Amino acid sequence: MKKLVLGTTALVAATAITSGAATAAEKIKLNLGGYLQTSFVVADYDTGDQLPTDIRHEGEVHFTGSTTLDNGLKFGVNIQLEARETTDQVDETFIFIEGSFGRVNIGSENSAAYLMHFASPSPVIGWGLNDPNFLAAGFTTPSTAPTEQSDADKITYFTPRFSGFQFGASYTPDADEETGTGAGPGAPIKAEGVNDEAYSVAVNYINKFNSVSVKASLSYEVITSSTIDDVAEISAGLQVGFGGFTVGGGYKLTENEGDVDDQERHDWNLGVNYGQGPWNIGIQYAHVEFDDATDGDYDAVVIGGNYILGPGVTAFGGVQFHTADDALVGSEGDEATIFFVGTALSF
């Protein structure tokens, strides 16, 4: 009986402790956020049947929330819904865990190499030339950040930052898919495509020396395949800020780009911004070059600026110039000039 009483007492105590720990931390409550960018466009294309004037939109609605347990661990969720109808209506969707050990992302989110990358500063919201939201129709999308595996489901770890340095790594079980396909018992969890597993490692550095800020990054990413040569991306970037100026650049080498054997792609960009108070202006240049399996060159320049009208409301405007030839836009080449003005709302 004594053992039974002691055992019952211990069970009651353990239950009380567990219940207390569970109720001390609040249940996750979702917050609503996101952005919407709208532009009025006047365009001049050498070829094709693109509209001379247009209205362009880009936006997402974000559902985010987190809770911190008594042991200090922070658990959170991030669900991003596209504000316009697309083939992928739900964009990134992942949970994260943070603690003294660093941070872990699990789900549909970009890789460590992408998230930790720095490049030239964008002079204008949405229309910059490093993985832009808006671009001239028919032209390749420039980006010095690794984009081959995009939001495929993965697990990513980031170390704490120490002496300005942070390291990150990602593992993607299947670099083809974000979501499962098939239905019913025995259906495959993933739709097996050309790509197999993907791996990503990255390091970046952030520091400030008196009035000069420095951001630098370096990464390597590989997508393995059993049917074609592996796709590999090496990227690097640097940004320096001083006296209202931000100057930077980025570079990426992609081997077997787009799952095409022997297709080598080079992306690089340079830019400078200057801003004081609510406004900034700048210029950015991007270049893309295909070698080996196919050839082609692409060059683009954007000049523009932003002005903050109030909390969450920014006006912007500028102009893009594009020129491309061969594989990147067609054997005869093409040129385009895009004038744009718009408003960006964040909420």
Q: What tens digit of pLDDT does each residue of 66-89 get?
A: 999 999 999 999 999 988 866 667
Give the model's pLDDT for residue 271.
Answer: 98
Give the model's pLDDT for residue 96.
Answer: 98
What secondary structure does DSSP assign to 245-306, as a single string? EEEEEEEEEEESGGG-TTEEEEEEEEEEEEEETTEEEEEEEEEEEEEETS-EEEEEEEEEEE
Q: Is residue 186 part of a domain?
A: no
How far apart are the C-alpha atoms of 332 and 45, rounded to whole Å? Answer: 13
pLDDT band at 51 (very low <50, low <70, confident <90, very high): low
pLDDT for residue 22 is more than 60 = no
Mean pLDDT lowest among 115-129, 130-144, 285-299, 320-334: 320-334
Q: What tens digit of pLDDT does each residue of 206-259 get?
A: 999 999 999 999 999 999 887 778 899 999 999 999 999 999 999 999 998 877
Q: Is residue 2 part of a domain?
A: no
pLDDT for residue 11 is more than 50 = no
Q: Is residue 217 part of a domain?
A: yes
Q: Is residue 47 part of a domain?
A: yes
Q: Is residue 149 part of a domain?
A: yes
Between 90 and 56, residue with greater pLDDT: 56
- What residues make up the domain containing 272? 35-181+192-346
Between 135 and 78, residue with greater pLDDT: 78
Q: Tell me the average pLDDT across 314-325.
A: 94
Give the model's pLDDT for residue 181.
Answer: 45
Number of domains in the chain: 1
Q: Is residue 331 part of a domain?
A: yes
- Amino acid occupying residue 69: L
Between 105 and 14, residue with greater pLDDT: 105
How far apart are the C-alpha atoms of 215 and 211, rounded to whole Å? Answer: 14
| Burial class of residue 128 in the structure, from the number of CB atoms within 10 Å of its CB (0-12 exposed, 13-18 middle, 19+ buried) | buried
Q: Is residue 203 part of a domain?
A: yes
* Residue that the structure tokens 């931390």 belong to: 25
- Amino acid occupying residue 96: F
The pTM assigned to this predicted structure is 0.84
Q: Is residue 5 part of a domain?
A: no
Instruction: For the chain, give the percent of residues with pLDDT over 90.
Output: 64
Q: Tell me the average pLDDT across 114-128.
A: 96
Q: Tell me the average pLDDT across 149-178.
A: 90
CATH number at residue 111: 2.40.160.10
